């Protein structure tokens, strides 16, 4: 009986350890993503802080990862959240958005922008719920 209890204790302990390890790592808006998984975790946090209704993977490059999320009563406004592996990638993307006149907010390793909708880039006011500066 004692070996059964010891064995069950070991199984429960291992199961708990695996469950804790499976939870998403500590992610903050300051986190630096290294791959699509960590980029997604950062983008999901940004989307959650803005109360986005939907969240999807969109595009990826060598050291950036794009995701989209929707806001509004019917999810009618779509936003792009680009997570980047470095500051240079963020600066390059913000310069491009600025040149195109697309409002955006930036964090250390993410940029949120309004998706083009009917040829209109959206307004800066639509971004106020997202973390970052802009």
Backbone angles phi, psi at 12, to 5 degrees: -65, -45
For residues 95-100, average pLDDT? 93
| Number of structural domains found in the chain | 1
What pLDDT does residue 124 have? 83
Structural domain contains residue 103: yes
* Residue 72: inside a domain: yes
Say what the pLDDT of residue 7 is.
Answer: 45
C-alpha R_g of the chain: 19
Q: Bigger pLDDT: 14 or 38? A: 38
Going by C-beta distance under 8 Å and a sequence separation of 6 or more, which residues neighbour residue 104?
94, 97, 98, 111, 112, 113, 114, 127, 134
Residue 97 lies in a domain: yes
Asked whether residue 16 is assigned to any structural domain, the reply reads no
Gap between the Cα atoms of 116 and 110, Å rounded: 18
Q: What's the pLDDT at 9?
A: 40
Residues 122, 120: Cα–Cα separation, whole Å: 6
pLDDT at 134: 82
Strands 110-114 and 54-60: unpaired
**What's the CATH number where 90 sits?**
3.30.200.20
Q: What are phi and psi of 102, to 5 degrees?
A: -95, 120
Q: 39-53: per-residue pLDDT in tens?
A: 999 999 999 999 998
Residue 93 pLDDT more than 50? yes
* 46 within some domain: yes
- What are the structure tokens assigned to 133, written together? 């500066």
pLDDT at residue 3 in the model? 52
Residue 97 sits in which domain range?
28-127
Residue-wise pLDDT tens digits, 12-34? 333 333 333 333 558 899 999 99
Percentage of the chain surpassing pLDDT 90?
Answer: 56
Q: What is the pLDDT of residues 57-90, one digit of tens each?
A: 999 999 999 999 988 766 678 899 999 999 999 9
Task: Flag whether 9 is in a domain.
Answer: no
């Amino acid at each position: 009986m004692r070996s059964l209890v010891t064995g069950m204790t070991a199984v429960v302990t291992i199961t708990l350890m695996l469950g804790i390890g499976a939870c998403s790592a500590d992610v903050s808006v300051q986190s630096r993503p290294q791959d699509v998984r960590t980029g997604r975790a950062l983008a999901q946090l940004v989307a959650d802080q803005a109360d986005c209704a939907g969240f999807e993977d969109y595009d990826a490059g060598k050291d950036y990862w794009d995701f989209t999320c929707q806001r509004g009563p019917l999810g009618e406004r779509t936003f792009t959240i680009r997570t980047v592996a470095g500051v240079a990638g963020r600066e390059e993307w913000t310069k491009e958005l600025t040149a195109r006149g697309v409002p955006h907010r930036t964090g250390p390793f993410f940029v949120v922008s309004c998706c083009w909708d009917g040829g209109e880039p959206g307004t800066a006011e639509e971004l106020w719920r997202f973390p970052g500066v802009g």
